[in-house]
Structure 1
Amino acid sequence: MIYLSIVMNLCLLYMVSCSSIDTKEKCTIKVDPKSKRTKADCRNKNLTSVPLDLPADINVLDLAGNLFTFIGNSDFKRFVVLSEINLNNNEIMALDTHAFYLPLLTKLQLSNNHLNVSDSYSENVFHSSSKLRELDIKRNMRYASYSENPLDYNLPGSSLINLEVLVIDLVCFPKFNSSFQKMSNLQTLIFDDCFICYLSNETFMNFPQNVKELQMRSCQYFFVVEIDALKYFPLLCILDISNTPISLSQALQMVYPLQNTNMDLINFHHVSVENSQIYPYDVILTPKLMEYIRTICIKTLDISENSICSIRNKSLILFQHPQCFEQLILSANRFGLGYFISYFVSFVYRMTNLTLFDNSYVPLEYKNPQFLHDSQTLDLRVKDSRISEGNFEKPSFTFHIPKNLKYVRVSHVMARNYVQIIDISNTTLATLDFSYYNTDMFPLFICDGFNNLTYLDISGIESTKTFGQFPILKHLKILKMAHSQLYKLIPQNVTIFNWTTYLTSLDVSHNYLWYVGEKSFEGLNLLTSLNVSNNMFQTIPRVIMSFAHLTELDLSFNLLSMLEDDLTVWINVQNKHFGHFKLYLQGNAFICTCETANFLIWIFDTKANLDMDKNYTCRLPGGGNNFTKNVTEDYHNYFAACNAAIWIKLGVSLLTSICFCIVCITLVYNFRWRILFYFHRKFLIIVEKGLEVNFKYDVYVSYSDDGASFIKNIFQPTIEHRWGLRMCCEDRDFDVGASNLDVRARSIHKSRHIIFVITPSFITREWNRFEIERAKYEKFTKDLQKIVVIAHKTSIQNTPTELSTIWNDVCVIEWPEEGGELFTVWQKLRLWLF
């Protein structure tokens, strides 16, 4: 028996030891160097009970994401200094009578379990937790949230007298008992899962009056609020009912008990009710609706996204305490300020402590509407929106930015603009967002003193409108000009950013840039981050390597086939000098050939930080795609013979081609046209069906004004009427009113071939460079089959130099004036197009 007892003790000791080792592998014990508190991290370990070998002196225990179903009296008893417990995202359905017998517990999290507020919390469950300050029991009542019967909330308030923050669910018909009155220190009340149907004047009658913050965000269903529902919270400073469907009209009536008080925040963001017969979706602000809120001294007011379509009698600016405002958010509504713009500006000047103003996403009206004045003649004329019939022209004026305003966002606006000049002199304005400001005129910014502007976003506005509209901004660090049509300024060879030479971050993405002028980016000597993604660069502009401090470069989604050696060397130098360099190359047209072998090796050898885990798609010489990682891993098979056999392969290929051509010409000479037309047409049909190609046009024709008669009188009768091909001509097929840039790009993309008719004035034509670059891009992607150049009344030497890079892929014709050569030219053109 003695030996048996010894063996059992040894086995028990071994099991405890194994359990201890296993627990240490599961839970991580850390000591915060600042607070000196010990934390045990046991999250997501599939635990069903508290580990037995955890240190008894831990202060924080995180058991979130496990499989607990029950908390017993002895589970935490030995952790005498435990102050925080996280039991979120478990399966807890019941708590023992003294489950949290912890005298130092200050924070308890039980969210996303199955604990019912009516019967899961016994009178003594928090009996010894007198120091509990924060209790989070949200997302436990989803199964009971839809009940049509009142539900009793039986929390032991006598044990929670020091509770300051309570996060709890709000069911359809809640009934808070008198125990909540004992939570005399409760200051923050948050209803996370909110399913209430009716908020009456008695709903909160048993809550203590010292609550300062009330949140009922993202409630699930439309509910009705009685006007005196908040009368039990006289000290309320924060009211947040954002994304809750109660209608703005009810929300403004809800503050009736808070009249003549001071509020830190009133958040009525998106409280609109759709498809409601009682409260219309469109809201019209009137003095009657604003009579309660206008008396409150508010620091932050958010009434954004509420479908406010009209302001009556200047009701938006009738607040009695404008000096209290620090933040005002009005975005995503549909009201205009035109008729009382001067009164609104005066109101802004009286908000002397305002630091943030946001009035974005305002689709009020188009800047240049078209009116149908004569229905019989269908005379469509563009009429100036400022002097349209029935409207009188309001004078524009200068707006002086208030000196304390730091953040202004007037983004995505499509409306009339009556502010001609904006003065930012001697202000603290740091952030200005004017992106996608689509109005009839862009204001002029002036500064006669100092300014603090560090962030400016003017994306989505045509660069020719904003160029020259800003003064020297010495403190500007971040500038965004995406979707700004910068390609219109580049040919002018002007210094685009001479007004902000202290930039550190510049975004010029989505601008259809294929080259950069010598002066375009001049003076950006302090630039550290540059985004030129989603443009049309085939080679990297040399000016980039002049930015000595650049450590982040975004070249993604361009037309790069590789990076030149001097650029890769420069990137390595920058990375070594600064210790880091971020480079983005996703979405380019890389090629895995002998010419790009050095670049492929550099991708995986460089210490710079590249995106996509350095694994990009590249096109193989024989067709098809692969990934750069696969190609470099099998480098020998891909590139072993690049240098040794290149001349042999060239000679053999040339000799074979010559012999093959001689044999083919000899065999088919007598039947050349009939054979070529037949097989070429059949081949195209088979290929297009296999690739599912669906061309709208057979030929896109690029021509200047002096070639229009040649196209109309000579080309169209033969190509369309005799040959049955569909042509795309600018004068006939372009949609009226559409963007020239987009319609040309789409038309070339939907054409099987493209013909450039070179005439004396073609070189000076506005769109020829863009159409050539787009044709090169479509040819590279193999969507465009033939590029034909026809020199008419000019020499072939006058062909644009932009075609030189793909000259081997271009079919050239010098159009004769008359004679027998015309027949040969037409036959050659027909062969190419068919």
Structure 2
Amino acid sequence: MKIIVILVVASFCRGKQHVCNVYFDKQHDGMFADCKGRQLRHFANDLPYNITALDISENKLESLINGTFNNFPNLTYVNLNANLLTNLESGVFKGLYNLTTLLLAKNKLKHAFPKGIFSDLGNLQTLNLEQNEMRSYPDWAFPPLTKLHSLYMDSVPVPVFGPGFSSLANLRVLQMDSTFLYGGDCSINKLTNQTFQSLKGIELEVLILNYCYGLNDCEKGVLEPLMFLKHLEMSSNRIGLQNSLQLLHPLVGRNMSRIWFNRTVSPHSHYKQDIDDRILTAKSTEYLTKICVEELSLRHNQIILVESGSINKQPLRDCIEVLDMSKNNIVGDGSIFLMFPIFQRLRYLDISYQRQEYALPESQLLSRPNNVTINFPHNFTYFDATLIAYAHFSSPVITLLNTNNLETFRIGYNNLNGLNHIRGLENVKNVYLSGSEFGTVTDSFFYSFLNARKLSLGNCNLQFVKRSGNSSSNILNGLRAVEYLDLSSNNLRYFPVLPNAGKIVHVNLSHNSIDTVSIGENTYKSLALLDMSFNLIGQLSKETRSQLDIASIRTSLKLKVEGNIFSCGCENLDFILWLMDTSAIYESDRDFPCIQDNGTMTGTIEVAKNQLNIHRHCTGKLLLSLTVTCMIVVLTSIFIAYVISKNPTRYRNIVIRMFGFGVEYVTPKQFEFTFYVGYCGNDVPFVYRILRPGLELCFRPVRLFLKDREVLPGKDIAEGIIEGVNGSWKTILVISPDFLKDSWTHFTITSAVYAMSDVIPKRIIVLLVGDVLVKDLPDCLLNMVEEDCILRVKDYMEEEGEEEGTLCGLLRNVAGL
């Protein structure tokens, strides 16, 4: 019996459980009921009576009846957005005297506003009615909302705010672009002089009318009733820039905080009208320049010309603080932008992305001064001139004045080259110079950004990495405060020594030619993201992997490696498994491309799935190799022992010669060729015009092995090199910058070194051609060649006839001929 009672009580408790989360919320100073997205078809009536905020948005409510909120008198916030509401009874909001925010966006309330529906909402301050399929505004419902501050209205084709809206004495913000919270389309086609007439006595300060792409007709007096307007946004429409500027006539002489006319392009049918609409003249801006506006944005308007005197007039000139003219097509010499220092209060200027549509004559492109000086206003904090130049802009030094308050400086992708110093950026936090052609830079260049926290130098053709060894120079030491560093797309070959090791957070080295990652366990203590994508990383050593794992635990470091093609052969199987399991890799999808030992492509996930089979295959090959090797060693030992037992005296003499007793040196007569000449294709003229005549066509000729002459067509090149080196008494290596870059360089040098022996002294002779230095020679060659066998060609190129002083005569002396 007790068990039955317990089950009944438990069932009753489950039945009374709330479908909403209820908790205390500081923002609403009380209990908050979160019923968002619960698929509710009916209002949740079992909520606590003392809730002060209710979010029942994104459900399936279709109607609300009278008395719905009778049990919740303390509500100050109600969110009913994104439901299926089509009907609201007149008493649905009865008793909500404390309500300050009511959100009804994205429903279907086009005819659901009976008279008196808002009668108890005298304290309502924010009302959202966007996206409700309205065709007109129910002005009869609004008179009770005397304290309404912000109104977000649904857009209608030809909006008119009727007499009922004249009671909204405290209305300060009006938005009709359907973008609040959920976004949406604006259906307004036309604004008339009657649209805001009923708001004439109201101190409306903010009017937001963006993204009305169908709006192409606007009467000139539409803003006249809004006598207290301070903030105007009318972007993304088809009114046209010139027509938009004419709407400002009623605002002349006022102080305004913002005017936005972005992407307001009229579809003109005539070419001349289209051109006229894209030119700012003193006439078209006559009303704008008479308004004291703090923020002006005319971005994305296809403006092609800004005439002198069009925007630099008072009071605009003395009031403007933020000016955005980006993403236009402004052409000319750019002199209009050099006038911005006269705007003394200007602190933000964006003139970026002036995409040119026409091919300009050279005379109209930006000039090319030797040095540039830019004078900023005293309060300047932000400057963006990315992608505005259309010609190569060469300047060794750029000097910026009045940069004490400057925080962001962006001049990337302006064909800027030859720059070695920028003065005035020492205290600027964000610097963007990507897309320039700096080439070789010195450490003084990086001291230009002494306190930069974010520095972008991607795609700048930077050349500052050492070409010998695997370490980069410390040229970046001047970046003592950098936290974000972008060195992507610079064709870097080695991992650089990063600056500010203890504080750097984000490093972008993607799209380079780096084949490894070099970070110490305790070096980069704050590094959180290292982008090594699209490099030449084939695998990472165990030490590097261990360092990355430790850094991942210590600083949550993530390494981006997409775009690299890994090696997944037998020796790298542990690396592939690490790649799948480590927390140090940024990508969630770990299926990277990799190359198997047989040259076929596969994916890392496939390798990880078949790891056991691959391990057996690799181990089997190793054991087979060891077994075969051991058998060969045993059989060879037996054979050698047998041969020695048959000829003990002969092999005793061989051993004696091995220890230097009775060594006989070989002579040139014992070889088919006297010299093997190693060279690359670009050095053929030197070999055939100087070496060959001086050695083969003289009165004491010797025979040369020249690969272009001696190696028959179709024969393997490697085999020809080996035969030439072994069949020649000595080897002459013609080493030039091109030879060091040649694909056969390593093989040729290695073959010559392997052919050296004690019975042929000084078997390798090196000729340095061009700008090659001794330190540029490979270590394996320097360790084997005697110093007097390394000759610099230009030191011995004298007049013909003095054979003992010529290069070929010296070669004979060195070779002992």
Name the stretch that deviates more: 268-277 or 600-609.
Answer: 600-609
The 5 Å alignment of 1:363-442 reads 363-364=355-356, 385=362, 388=363, 397-415=372-390, 421-424=398-401, 427-439=404-416
* Preserved CA contact (<8 Å) 2:261 2:299: yes
* Preserved CA contact (<8 Å) 2:37 2:57: yes
Name the stretch that deviates more: 94-103 or 635-644.
Answer: 635-644
| Residue matched to 1:123 | 115
Per-residue CA deviation, residues 562-597 of structure 1 (Å, 9 max, x unaligned), is: 21111112123323444x222222232123333123
* Preserved CA contact (<8 Å) 2:565 2:592: no
Per-residue CA deviation, residues 516-542 of structure 1 (Å, 9 max, x unaligned), is: 47xx65675643322212222223357
Per the alignment, in what secondary structure is the counterpart of residue 636 of structure 1? Answer: helix
Q: Does 1:555 align with 2:550?
A: no
AA matched with 1:138: E
Q: Does 1:484 align with 2:484?
A: no
| Residue matched to 2:330 | 335
Unaligned runs of 5+ residues in structure 1 are: 1-9, 145-150, 372-384, 657-701, 717-721, 724-758, 773-786, 805-834
Per-residue CA deviation, residues 64-94 of structure 1 (Å, 9 max, x unaligned), is: 2111111111322212211212121111111
CA 626–440 in structure 1, closer or farther in 2 if over 3 Å, else same: closer
Per the alignment, in what secondary structure is the counterpart of residue 166 of structure 1? Answer: strand
Name the stretch that deviates more: 599-608 or 156-165.
Answer: 599-608
CA distance in 1, matches of 2:407, 2:227: 37
CA 390–501 in structure 1, closer or farther in 2 if over 3 Å, else same: closer
CA 483–178 in structure 1, closer or farther in 2 if over 3 Å, else same: same
CA distance in 2, matches of 1:608, 1:389: 52
Q: Does 1:103 align with 2:97?
A: yes
The 5 Å alignment of 1:594-613 reads 594-603=570-579, 606-608=582-584, 610-612=586-588
CA distance in 2, matches of 1:457, 1:241: 31
Per-residue CA deviation, residues 140-167 of structure 1 (Å, 9 max, x unaligned), is: 127x5xxxxxx45435121211111111
CA distance in 1, matches of 2:365, 2:569: 67
Aligned counterpart in structure 2 of residue 506 of structure 1, from 476, 485, 500: 485
Query: What is the count of residue pairs matched by the alignment?
Result: 657
| Residue matched to 2:303 | 308
| Residue matched to 1:185 | 170
* Preserved CA contact (<8 Å) 2:373 2:401: no
Q: Does 1:323 align with 2:354?
A: no
Per-residue CA deviation, residues 353-388 of structure 1 (Å, 9 max, x unaligned), is: 322111101235999x9x8xxxxxxxxxxxxx5xx5
Q: Does 1:456 align with 2:431?
A: yes
Per the alignment, in what secondary structure is the counterpart of residue 539 of structure 1? Answer: coil
Per-residue CA deviation, residues 589-637 of structure 1 (Å, 9 max, x unaligned), is: 1233331233234345545463225554444446655554554455433
Displacement of 1:168: 1.0
Per the alignment, in what secondary structure is the counterpart of residue 574 of structure 2? Answer: helix
CA distance in 2, matches of 1:155, 1:587: 63
Per the alignment, in what secondary structure is the counterpart of residue 317 of structure 1? Answer: coil
CA 788–91 in structure 1, closer or farther in 2 if over 3 Å, else same: farther
Aligned counterpart in structure 1 of residue 53 of structure 2, from 60, 74, 81: 60
| Residue matched to 1:808 | none
Per the alignment, in what secondary structure is the counterpart of residue 132 of structure 2? Answer: coil
| Residue matched to 2:476 | 497
Per-residue CA deviation, residues 659-685 of structure 1 (Å, 9 max, x unaligned), is: xxxxxxxxxxxxxxxxxxxxxxxxxxx
The 5 Å alignment of 1:197-276 reads 197-207=189-199, 208-276=201-269
Aligned counterpart in structure 2 of residue 351 of structure 1, from 323, 343, 348: 343
AA matched with 2:242: S
CA distance in 1, matches of 2:315, 2:81: 45
Displacement of 1:337: 6.3
AA matched with 1:504: E
CA 494–641 in structure 1, closer or farther in 2 if over 3 Å, else same: closer
CA 604–795 in structure 1, closer or farther in 2 if over 3 Å, else same: closer
Displacement of 1:333: 1.8
Per-residue CA deviation, residues 696-717 of structure 1 (Å, 9 max, x unaligned), is: xxxxxx9764459999xx999x
Per the alignment, in what secondary structure is the counterpart of residue 638 of structure 1? Answer: helix
The 5 Å alignment of 1:670-709 reads 705-706=682-683
CA distance in 2, matches of 1:409, 1:635: 52
CA distance in 1, matches of 2:599, 2:294: 64
What RMSD in Å do the two structures reach over aligned CA positions? Answer: 4.3
Max radius of gyration: which structure?
2
* Preserved CA contact (<8 Å) 1:92 1:115: yes
AA matched with 2:109: L
Q: Does 1:175 align with 2:160?
A: yes
Aligned counterpart in structure 2 of residue 574 of structure 1, from 507, 531, 551: 551
CA distance in 2, matches of 1:84, 1:429: 42
TM-score normalised by the chain length of structure 2: 0.71
AA matched with 1:69: E
* Preserved CA contact (<8 Å) 1:364 1:414: no
CA distance in 2, matches of 1:392, 1:589: 44
* Preserved CA contact (<8 Å) 2:370 2:394: yes
Per the alignment, in what secondary structure is the counterpart of residue 647 of structure 1? Answer: helix
Displacement of 1:139: 1.1
CA 453–313 in structure 1, closer or farther in 2 if over 3 Å, else same: closer
CA 78–652 in structure 1, closer or farther in 2 if over 3 Å, else same: farther
Displacement of 1:396: 6.4
Per the alignment, in what secondary structure is the counterpart of residue 338 of structure 1? Answer: coil
* Preserved CA contact (<8 Å) 1:283 1:310: yes
Aligned counterpart in structure 2 of residue 20 of structure 1, from 16, 25, 34: 16
CA 624–28 in structure 1, closer or farther in 2 if over 3 Å, else same: farther
CA distance in 2, matches of 1:318, 1:543: 58
Identity of aligned residues (%): 24
Per-residue CA deviation, residues 190-237 of structure 1 (Å, 9 max, x unaligned), is: 012432233222221012531100011010214222222101111111
CA 157–542 in structure 1, closer or farther in 2 if over 3 Å, else same: closer
CA distance in 2, matches of 1:609, 1:200: 59
The 5 Å alignment of 1:518-537 reads 521=498, 526-537=503-514
TM-score normalised by the chain length of structure 1: 0.69
CA 125–620 in structure 1, closer or farther in 2 if over 3 Å, else same: farther
* Preserved CA contact (<8 Å) 1:436 1:461: yes
* Preserved CA contact (<8 Å) 1:366 1:415: no
